[in-house]
Amino acid sequence: MLFWLDIVALAAYTLIGLEVATDSRKTRFLLDIQPAAPDQTPEVSVIDAARKEERNIREALQSLLAEYQYWGGA
């Protein structure tokens, strides 16, 4: 029984490996995706771990906001 399970797992890994090796992905880069219309964009909450970060929290939040604005945020 274990032998057949190994054969199935090997076949699955081989198929996945071939897909990755042949680069059969449809989207190569995130920038290739066209942004959604503003009325179709979902609202997203960002949670950032900030344990003992009193001194650095302002810089961390500004960095997150800059990323948001870079990718087309408000």
**pLDDT digit string, tens, across residues 25-69:** 666 676 777 777 777 767 777 777 777 878 888 888 888 888 877
Residue 57, judged by CB atoms within 10 A of its CB (0-12, 13-18, 19+), counts as exposed
Which pLDDT score is estimated for 25? 64
- Label residue 14 by pLDDT band (50, 70, 90): very high
72, 59 contact by CB (below 8 A): no
- Label residue 19 by pLDDT band (50, 70, 90): confident
